[in-house]
Structure 1
Amino acid sequence: MNYLTERQTISIPIPEEFRQNALKFAREQLTPTRGRQVYLNTLAVQVVNTYLQMLDIPTDLESSYVWQPYRRLIDDVADLVLTGVGRLECRAIRTGDRICYIPPEVWDGRIGYVVVEINQTCKEGKIWGFLPNVTTSEIDIDKLHSLDELIERSHLISLRAWLENMYTTEWQTVEEFTRKRKPQFAFRSIKRVRGLKLESPDIVWQIIEQFYPNHSWQKGLPSKFMPKKFNNRCEELEVNNNSNISSELLDILVHLIRTTEDEETRWTLAEILWTLQPNHPAVTARRVMDLGMQLDGSAVALMVAVLPKPDQTVAVLLRVYPMNHVYLPLGLQLAGLYEDGQAFLEVQARGDDDYIQLKFCAEFGERFRVRVGLNDAVITENFVI
């Protein structure tokens, strides 16, 4: 590990505007001690924001918790949202400090931690370095990693950020993607799952009971989901573009998605849910990107979907679709790769595949690559959970 030296720090001037923002937020606090902490937190975040903007790394300062009155009142936060990547914690120290304090409430939900030294006049901030994670309240600044690691991480596609509804612009919802590309894009408009057309609630129950025979789907179901009308599963429900879908049926699908231990079941139920209600919050971490490549005359798109699991890991689904043909070109390859480039999953299109897919589970913090290719044409995208 390459630790920092004095020459690797980055100094950023702190203008009057930054100090005025910090003073405004500090005056909202209930005690002088909290006010001083919020003042330094706000300066540190603005310093890091300036540095990242200099590198053309997109940020969203106003979406950060530190910019929200209620959050900075109750929590010791100093986060900066990197667009489509996640929240970066920016912690302040004063000149001469060698230890940086990281409060336990920010040990989770961050893509990393940056330490910023604020000088005595509060007119300069010195960025000392980066850590990808922390497990202790005190950090020795001599043990910080190079800022190059932060820059590298900022260019990864963060699937954890997707679970917090943060995306970069090139990743669109399926509906946005289809609307802009019709009639060329080959996503199917017919609502089918497992070969069955979802034209009534009875079909949905039929699929559920394939996975949960003898009503075993009811096991562990919270009592609030068990009103009397579920004794007759054939509710009056029309599943089409303009229907009002039973909220109870949606709640049961969400519960089963979150609790099942079988990955095939999880993804089938998720596909039912996003077919019935694409914008349901339980399945919105699903995006599509035009890969911008022609493979044997066929343009293709990559869809990535993420589902959180009860064991605090995530389930990942990768799919490649044709955009201007019915089928993918024969021999098209989709692969999931470790960081070193070694494949852990691969699939290849046959002559009649309208999509190919891979499914796997991963832990938060893990990195992987997705490779799509045919013959000499290859494109790779880099992800982090």
Structure 2
Amino acid sequence: MPLTNKDRKIAERFSENQSQPQKREQVYYNSLAVLAVNNYCRWMEISTDITGSDSWNPIAQTLGNVADLCLGSLGKIECRPVRFDASVVEVPAEVWHDRIGYLAIQFDEGFTQAKFIGFLERIERENIPLNEWRSLDDFLDLIERLETVESYNYQVHLGNWLQGIFEGAWEGIETITRPYNLELGWNFRQRSRSSSVTSNSHTSEIERVKIVSLEPPGTEMALLLGVTPTTPSELDISVELYPTQAHSHLPQELQLMILDHSGKSVMQAEAGGSERLLFKFSGESGEQFSIKIAWREISVTETFVI
């Protein structure tokens, strides 16, 4: 992975907080390693939270030798830097726990390139030769396993909705649009009023809404999901996405996708500054689908089982 001037300036800024030359060098190397892995993860569409990592905390930088990168709810990956002329990777004992794995990152002499030496899921000694590190594919396999487990654990079962059982994050439209809660876009408020007026004549339709946050920079929007039973084993499903600010539009580059059980996109649309996005489709009992909202390098995915 290339290292940019911006990456080097960030690492320099962190290192300047240290008074000892050896500590400044350590923080510089650690920060560059974390930035290299963060750039790689974004390229591979793996969600990260670099600002929420201990390695981004000036106090933790001073008190320890940490180079962790938080991968959201999947856990932390340790990004260990390697000098251009080194033959071993140093992994301090203080980072042998609370990690889902370890990546070794070697820099060239001018700090313009970061070479991924390899990956290990567990560490039991401080000095590990370069030839003992496993393929980077093992890291990607681990992420895939963890994402599969996370997706299973966080599936929303729409059959429960038909029984009046709802997950906490999915609320009634009338709740989410109360004045003291959120001021949603004009179209959403009109949609809410229309829904409340016609609800008596469409008692079989169930609608819930969830506020979705894309960070950074904290962009929020309302995801509305409606389900209507058409047969004992089939549902009509509507997916709508609205801005949360009054009279506003969805971000220009925002995309809304419907994914099948394998993660393949079967429906996709880009907001282009529109006031909302809407999909309608049908599904049968037992089928799985996901809703993915993507904006630039950031994405959120919700998984459902019919």
Question: TM-score scaled by structure 1?
Answer: 0.41
**Quick one: which of 58, 61, 81 aligns to 2:70?**
81
Task: Pick from 137, 160, 171 the counterpart of residue 154 of structure 2.
Answer: 171
Q: Residue 95 of structure 1 aligns with which residue?
A: 84
Does 1:106 pair with 2:42?
no
Contact 2:76 2:99 in 1 (8 A): yes
Please state if 1:151 is matched with 2:106: no
Are 2:20 and 1:31 aligned? yes
Q: Any conservation in 2 of the 1:99–1:138 contact (CA below 8 Å)?
A: yes
Residue 129 (structure 1) aligned with residue 118 (structure 2): yes
Which of residues 154, 160, 165 is equivalent to 1:187?
A: 165
Q: Please say if 1:118 is aligned against 2:101.
A: no
d(CA) in 2 for partners of 1:109 and 1:298? 44
Residue matched to 1:318: none
Residues 66 and 72 of structure 1 are in contact (CA less than 8 Å); yes or no, is this contact kept in structure 2?
yes
The answer for the alignment partner of 1:307 in structure 2 is none
Counterpart residue type for residue 62 of structure 1? T
Find the aligned partners of 2:163 and 2:114 in 1 and give their Cα distance. 49
Instruction: Report Cα offsets for 1:112-165 as digits up to 9, x if no partner.
Output: 0000001111111111110001010011110111111111111233799xxxxx
| CA distance in structure 2 between the aligned counterparts of 1:153 and 1:135, rounded to whole angstroms | 19
1:66: Cα distance to partner?
0.7
Per-residue Cα deviation, 1:233-278 (whole angstroms, up to 9, x for no partner):
xxxxxxxxxxxxxxxxxxxxxxxxxxxxxxxxxxxxxxxxxxxxxx
1:62/1:181 CA distance change after superposition, 3 Å = farther
Matching of residues 203-352 of structure 1 within 5 Å: 297=233
Residues of 2 paired with 1:185 and 1:19: CA distance? Answer: 55
The whole-number CA distance in structure 2 between the counterparts of 1:149 and 1:298 is 40
Distance 2:159 2:37 in 1: 38
Q: Deviations over 1:80-124 (max 9, x none)?
A: 111221100000111121100001010000010000001111111
- Counterpart of 1:18 (choices 1, 7, 24) is 7
Measured on the aligned residues, the alpha-carbon RMSD in Å equals 3.8
CA contact (8 A) 2:160 2:166 kept: no
Structure 1 unaligned residues grouped into runs of 5+: 1-11, 161-166, 190-289, 300-375, 380-385
**Aligned residue identity for 2:50:** L
Q: Write the deviation string for residues 333-378 of structure 1: whole angstroms up to 9, x where unpaired.
A: xxxxxxxxxxxxxxxxxxxxxxxxxxxxxxxxxxxxxxxxxxx968
Query: How far apart are the structure 1 equivalents of 2:84 and 2:69?
Result: 22
Matches of 1:66 and 1:133, distance apart in 2: 19
Q: How many residues align?
A: 180
- Contact kept, 8 Å, 1:85 with 1:156, in 2: the verdict is no
In the alignment, structure 2 segments of 5+ residues that lack a partner are: 168-224, 236-284, 289-306
Residue type at the aligned position of 1:111? I
User: 1:272 aligns to what?
Assistant: none
TM-score (norm 2): 0.51
Q: How does 1:45-64 map to 2 (within 5 A)?
A: 45-64=34-53
Q: Distance in 2 between matches of 1:148 and 1:105?
A: 26
Can you list the C-alpha shifts for 1:191-226, whole angstroms capped at 9, x where unaligned?
Answer: xxxxxxxxxxxxxxxxxxxxxxxxxxxxxxxxxxxx
- What is the percent sequence identity of the aligned residues? 28
Amino acid at match of 1:171: Y
2:73 aligned counterpart, secondary structure: coil
